[in-house]
């Protein structure tokens, strides 16, 4: 059978299997085993266990559960509420200070926890009622938190970037640095739209909230600064050559647990057990998907599907930006239905040779891919962040939340466009800090 037609058959079958309701990892294993058995014989199935466990034999994977523990220990405390309150006190005199402080709190908490749903829940519980009380439109209040929560998969340390780095054998440190400037740019676009939307709605009078004394501003900082210091310390350790990402993640996880115990009195064995239990569940889920995706990639390569697609793309007489537009369309649609980790692990083996052949930087592409995944987090039918916000504020209809989120989707599309026009937004910082890639 022609490898291209076989690839189309694999794609359709994979979509049908995943839509049947089975977990992503199990679905990938079922599709891989079925096609290997049908087109490569039973002998190829003997290699599946070796490939499955071999994919997990990677020291860099240790950073995933460590960063997850780091985020879970923060998410289990009042750190989100304190972070929100600290920014509100310091930014209250700035026009639109409340929405700016909410988006800033989302960005910082998302960077600390690495979880979009946790960010929406932690910041939204305080931010949404406060913004509504002061007259901000429901769409701005809900949409800004939903969109702000997505920044966690772009601003380092990002588990999504770690997964991409492992799947494509790209430097994780370089990927982390590549997300900094685009993440700040995206946050700026979010803030700009929120302020414009509030001004347009005729509620400009709410843009300046109450005032706080200097004592009130400084008294909350000791509860927030230690977590920020850990984030900066982790990044310094990685880029200062002190330790590997896995080693810094382990130290960061331990320090976050200690600070949660000391500052927020997280001494209860039950509370600590919840942190470790939830972290273990999420880590096993991600590692299971990584291992299954390794088997899926082996199946694509064994049946010459990956090679055939790359060769076919190479023969196409199309502009490389037309090709990139098609890839973005594919990623956007995939992100509507699947979680970011699953999309990266499934698409990376196919897209990476195409990206390199078209002379695109894999590090730059990681940022573009991640923003596409962010769009999926606030877009139906899955749109996990939309449902989290609806759970926090059930009196705000899902339609209003979706309508409020759509302009932020536009901001993300604009960010992708700017990255295409100015690739240095993603590549300048890693090239400056770590040197140009060879």
- Chain-centroid distance of CA 237 in Å reads 22
- In this prediction the pTM is 0.81
Model confidence pLDDT, tens digit, residues 169-219: 888 889 988 999 999 999 899 988 887 877 776 655 444 545 677 787 888
Tell me what the mean pLDDT of segment 61-65 comes to.
82
Count other Cβ atoms within 10 Å, centred on residue 345. Answer: 27
- Tell me the pLDDT band of 361, cut-offs 50, 70 and 90: very high
Instruction: Please give the structure tokens belonging to residue 269.
Output: 């064995």
Model confidence pLDDT, tens digit, residues 320-329: 888 888 888 8
Task: Tell me the HSE value of 362 on the side-chain side, using a 13 A CA sphere.
Answer: 24
**Lookup result for tokens 């266990």:** 49
In the predicted model, is pLDDT for residue 117 greater than 80? no
- pLDDT at position 417 is 94
Q: How many helices (H) and strands (E) does the chain have?
A: 22, 0
- pLDDT at position 314 is 63
- Measured at the alpha carbon of residue 328, what is the angle toward residues 327 and 329, in degrees to the nearest 5? 90
Parse the chain into domains and list their residue ranges: 42-434
In the predicted model, is pLDDT for residue 12 greater than 60? yes
Instruction: Please give the structure tokens belonging to residue 429.
Output: 């910082």
**331 contacts 64 by C-beta, under 8 angstroms:** no
**165 contacts 185 by C-beta, under 8 angstroms:** no
Instruction: Quote the CA–CA distance of 63 and 315 in Å, as a whole number.
Output: 39
């Amino acid at each position: 059978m022609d490898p291209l037609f076989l690839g189309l058959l694999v794609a359709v079958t994979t979509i049908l299997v995943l839509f049947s309701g089975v977990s992503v990892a199990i679905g990938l294993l079922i599709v891989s085993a079925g096609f290997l058995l049908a087109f490569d014989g039973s002998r190829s199935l003997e290699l599946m266990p070796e490939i499955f466990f071999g994919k997990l034999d990677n020291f860099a994977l240790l950073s995933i559960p460590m960063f997850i523990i780091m985020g879970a220990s923060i998410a289990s405390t009042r750190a989100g509420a304190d972070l929100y309150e600290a920014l509100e006190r310091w930014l209250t005199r700035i026009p639109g200070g409340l929405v700016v402080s909410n988006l800033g709190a989302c960005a910082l908490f998302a960077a600390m926890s690495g979880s979009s749903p946790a960010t929406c829940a932690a910041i939204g519980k305080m931010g949404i009622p406060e913004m509504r009380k002061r007259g901000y439109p429901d769409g701005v209040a809900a949409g800004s938190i939903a969109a702000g929560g997505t920044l966690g998969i772009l601003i380092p340390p990002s588990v999504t970037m770690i997964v991409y780095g492992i799947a494509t054998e790209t430097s994780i440190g370089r990927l982390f640095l590549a997300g900094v400037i685009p993440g700040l740019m995206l946050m700026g676009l979010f803030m700009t739209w929120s302020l414009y939307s509030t001004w347009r709605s005729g509620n400009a009078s709410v843009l300046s909230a109450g005032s706080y004394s200097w004592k009130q501003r400084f008294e909350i900082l000791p509860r927030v600064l230690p977590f920020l210091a850990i984030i900066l310390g982790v990044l310094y350790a990685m880029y200062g050559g002190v330790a590997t990402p896995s080693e810094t993640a382990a130290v960061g996880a331990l320090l976050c647990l200690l600070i949660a115990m000391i500052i927020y009195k997280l001494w209860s064995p039950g509370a600590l057990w919840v942190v470790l239990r939830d972290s273990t569940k999420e880590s096993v889920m991600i590692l299971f998907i990584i291992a299954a995706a390794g088997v899926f990639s082996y199946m694509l390569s064994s049946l010459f599907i990956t090679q055939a697609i790359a060769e076919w793309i190479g023969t196409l007489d199309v502009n490389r930006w037309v090709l990139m537009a098609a890839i973005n369309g594919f990623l956007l649609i995939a992100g509507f239905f699947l979680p970011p980790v699953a999309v990266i692990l499934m698409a990376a083996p196919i897209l990476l040779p195409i990206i390199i052949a078209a002379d695109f930087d894999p590090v730059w592409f990681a940022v573009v891919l991640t923003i596409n995944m962010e769009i999926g987090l606030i877009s139906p039918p899955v749109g996990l962040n939309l449902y989290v916000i609806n759970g926090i504020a059930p009196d705000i209809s899902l339609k209003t939340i979706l309508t409020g989120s759509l302009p932020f989707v536009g901001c993300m599309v604009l960010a992708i466009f700017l990255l295409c026009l100015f690739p240095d937004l993603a590549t300048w910082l890693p090239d400056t800090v770590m040197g140009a890639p060879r």
